[in-house]
Amino acid sequence: MHKHWKQFACTIVLATALVAAIVPALLPPQLQAQSQALPRDVDPKLLARAKAGNAVAQNNLGLLYDNGQGVPQDYVQAAVWYRKAAEQGYADAQYNLGLDYERGQGVPQDYAQAAVWYRNAAEQGLANAQVNLGALYDNGQGVAQDYDQAATCYRKAAEQGNAKAQLNLALLYDQGHGVPQDYAQAAAWYRKAAEQGNAKAQLKLALLYDQGHGVSQDYAQAAAWYRKAAEQGNAHAQYNLGIFYRDGRGVSADYEQALAWFRKAAEQSYADAQFNLGLLYDDGHGVPQDYAQAAVWYRKAAEQGLANAQVNLGLLYHHGQGVPKDYAQAAAWYRKAAEQGDAVAQFDLGELYAHGDGVFQDRAESAKWLLKAAESCDAASDKSAGYCESMILIGFAYMDGDGVTQDYTQAAKWLRKSAEKGDSLAMESMGWFYSKGYGVPRDTHQAEIWFRKAADQGDANAKIALEATQRLLALGPSAYQTAVFDGWQTVSSGTYCNTTATATASPYPNGPVTADGTTKYVRLILTRSKSGTGEAAPLTQPLADDIASGELRIYVHGITNYDDVFGVHHWVSFCYFWDAENRAFGACSERNDTDHNS
């Protein structure tokens, strides 16, 4: 009997355990969650008050589940208890439930529901709810975007001393959203938040001092606020403080300090800091020069899409510094930066295509990138950058039809721009263009001006051309009238300036220069034999198609004084040859002035 009783007792225990395991599974899901997560290490009095409907206790129990204090962390249970308290009008719980809806934590993410609960709490004056409701209006989440409403909400919280609201209200004043743009007001609200230790507000206040917006420009104050934010780990502030130390702005210049702050920001993946850290290694400032380390940091920034870093990494590959020389890699990085509009990369990529380094040689592709670089230089205030060489190169490309359709007007446009920034070869070229009327009206006075500018910079060819032009001007206006022919004349072979050349009769493909679209104007070029006694003969091909022999272009420049086209009274002959490789004119050794009556 005793044994049977013991067996019965064991059966009862097992059955009880089985029921305890099965029954919860039969409950509705919400009750299952509550029954499975009943707090065991929570103050029983708190639990009792919460179950009895005390809103404060319900909110506090929600906080325990939210943070995993005394119970396993359970966002669903937290939301359940917040809701119980919120529905009783408890502002803190309404705010907490709104936060859960905004984050999608314990409930499906729902900005509209977040706005509902924030509004309930905000209307009771809860600052955190006011600032979060303001942010929803600011960003148009769950409500229509409304900067006016955002400003109203932020102001209510800011006036209660809420640092986040003070920061956000300052941002609206900074940007002129919902309030008139007012840097002074922005500075005032940034300062309130910054003095409470808000790192972003400290950064923003520093920026106003840096730029002199709303406050007197004060680099020392800017540095002080950058430092406060930087010491809290703000990467932007760390980077800016590094710039201040590098440039000696508001602090004593100190490359080692710059390096330290750049590194802190770079280790947070701040791309501009990574690039500037690479620059310090590249130049050996604050650290021993180390191209390999420069390449490491340039690459990190380049992979984030920073164009400056992509260019510099390309340069390292181009020259084999810190990485193996690799034109293909150089071209790849230049292209990434060039496609972002970086003029240095556009110029360098154009040069690689011109020479076929790392890419298939492609003169059209070269001209495309050089033109982009030239346009960037034209738009820049500083024309001294190396990439501005693209202006003269694209000018010559248009002159020669190299990768682009030959176009003297475009050639003259870009050569002039290059000349105006001080390039002596471009100045000399403009002299020839005005002398011959290529892309500009023929104007010997303008030719003299440009030849003189180039000659004053020591250009030997320009000095020769200047002297010839001055001789021409001295003969009077009739000496540089343009001869008129109806059509092209065949160029005959002959001996010119001690150089024998077989002339070709290849007309200029675009036809002669025209003034009115119908009348054809050509150059009258007089030549003479080696002895200087031969008959003068007119040559009518433009400069681009002058007489050629092998790789050497021969150019014979004659000046005439005439009563009509063929009645020559006086002529002067000057001889030049075109060195295609060096893109320069050379002077022949012989020159003579002769009177000749036809």
Q: Quick check: is 215 in a domain? A: no
User: Average pLDDT in the 136-151 region?
Assistant: 97
pLDDT at 39: 58
Asked if the structure places residue 2 within a domain, the reply is no
Residues with Cβ within 8 Å of 380's Cβ and at least 6 positions away in sequence, in order, are: 343, 388
Q: How many domains does the chain have?
A: 3
Q: Determine the average pLDDT of the residues in 358-377.
A: 96
**Amino acid sitting at position 214:** G
Answer whether residue 230 shows pLDDT above 80. yes
For position 474, what pLDDT does the model report?
72
Q: Say which residue, 571 or 183, is predicted with more confidence.
A: 183
Predicted pLDDT of residue 515: 37
Please indicate, yes or no, if residue 131 is contained in any of the structural domains. no
- List, as one string, the DSSP characters of 101-131: HHHTSSS---HHHHHHHHHHHHTTT-HHHHH
Q: Are residues 466 and 488 in the same domain?
A: no
- What global pTM score does this model have? 0.72
450 and 529: one domain? no
How many residues are present in the chain? 598
Q: Are residues 577 and 528 in the same domain?
A: yes
- Average pLDDT of the residues in 291-314: 98
What is residue 497's predicted lDDT score, i.e. its pLDDT?
Answer: 34
Alpha-carbon distance of 181 to 177, in angstroms, equals: 7
Confidence of residue 581 (pLDDT cuts 50, 70, 90): low
Segment among 7-21, 226-240, 424-438, 556-570 with least mean pLDDT: 556-570
The pLDDT-based confidence of 75 (bands split at 50, 70, 90) is very high
Q: Tell me whether residue 114 is in a domain.
A: no
Is there a single domain that holds both residue 525 and residue 495? yes
Domain contains 209: no
Which residue did the predictor score with more confidence, 491 or 320? 320
The tens digit of pLDDT for each residue in 496-523 reads: 333 333 333 333 333 333 333 332 222 3
More confident residue, 394 or 561: 394
- In the chain, % helix, strand, coil (3-state, to 5) comes to 60, 10, 35
Q: Which run of H or of E encompasses 91?
A: helix 91-103
Task: Quickly state the pLDDT bin for 582 (edges 50, 70, 90).
Answer: low
* Contacts of 596 by beta carbon, 8 Å cutoff, 6+ apart: 536, 568, 569, 570, 571
Query: Average pLDDT of 427-456?
Result: 92
- The answer on 588 and 496 residing in a single domain is yes
pLDDT surpasses 90 at 484: no
Domain assignment present for 552: yes
Is residue 353 within 8 Å of residue 361, measured between CB atoms?
yes
Both 495 and 460 in one domain: the answer is no
- Lowest pLDDT segment from 191-200, 385-394, 405-414, 589-598: 589-598
Three-class DSSP category at 326: coil
Does residue 158 contact residue 167 with C-beta atoms inside 8 Å?
A: no
Inform me whether the pLDDT recorded for 360 exceeds 60. yes
Residue 475: per-residue pLDDT: 62
Q: Which residue has the higher pLDDT, 525 or 387?
A: 387
Domain that holds residue 444: 426-474
Q: Which two tokens stand for residue 368?
A: 């495309």
Query: What is the mean predicted confidence (pLDDT) over 429-451?
Result: 91
Q: Shortest CA distance to 98 belongs to which of 83, 88, 84? A: 83
Helix 199-211, helix 219-230: angle, nearest 10: 160
Nearest CA among 295, 308, 294 for reference residue 344? 308
Percentage, residues of the chain above pLDDT 70: 72
Q: What is the mean pLDDT of the chain?
A: 80
The answer to whether residues 510 and 590 belong to one domain is yes
pLDDT band at 26 (very low <50, low <70, confident <90, very high): very low
**Last residue of one domain, picked from the residues 418, 445, 474:** 474
CA 150 to chain CA mean position, Å: 33
Give the containing element (helix H, strand E) for 4. helix 2-26
Specify if 19 maps to a domain. yes
Alpha-carbon gap, residue 261 to 245, rounded angstroms: 9
- The whole-angstrom separation of Cα 253 and Cα 429 is 46
Q: Which residue has the higher pLDDT, 476 or 81?
A: 81
Task: Please give the single-letter amino acid code of residue 18.
Answer: L
Cα–Cα distances in angstroms (integers) from residue 242 to residues 144, 230, 236, 254, 440, in the given order: 41, 10, 10, 9, 51
Chain centroid offset of residue 288 CA: 29
Q: With 60 as the cut, is the pLDDT of residue 175 above it? A: yes
CA 4 to chain centre: 90
Do 492 and 584 fall within a single domain? yes
Residue 308 vs residue 567, higher pLDDT: 308
pLDDT at 468 (0 to 100)? 82
Count of CB atoms within 10 A of residue 483's CB?
16
462 and 524 co-located in one domain = no
Residue whose C-alpha is closest to residue 262's, from 250, 247, 252: 247
- Give the three-class secondary structure for 315: helix
Whether residues 441 and 505 share a domain: the answer is: no
Which of 371-375, 378-382, 427-431 has the lowest average pLDDT? 378-382
Q: Find the range with the poorest average confidence among 40-44, 312-316, 320-324.
A: 40-44
Residue type present at position 546: D
Q: What is the pLDDT of residues 158-167, one digit of tens each?
A: 999 999 999 9
What pLDDT does residue 549 have?
31
Q: Which SS3 state, helix, strand or coil, does residue 500 take?
A: strand
What pLDDT, on the 0 to 100 scale, is given for residue 142? 97
Do residues 484 and 565 share a domain?
yes
Report how many helices (DSSP H) and strands (DSSP E) the chain contains, helices first: 26, 7
Please report whether residue 460 resides in a domain: yes
Query: Could you give the CA distance from residue 254 to residue 164 in angstroms, rounded to a whole number?
Result: 34
For residues 345 and 314, the answer to whether their CB atoms sit within 8 Å is yes
Q: Are residues 538 and 580 in the same domain?
A: yes
Mean pLDDT, residues 356-368: 96
| Coil, helix or strand at residue 87 | coil
Share of the chain above pLDDT 90, in %: 67
Q: Tokens for 509?
A: 């493909």
pLDDT of 595? 33
Tell which residue, 343, 271, 336, has the closest CA to residue 310.
336
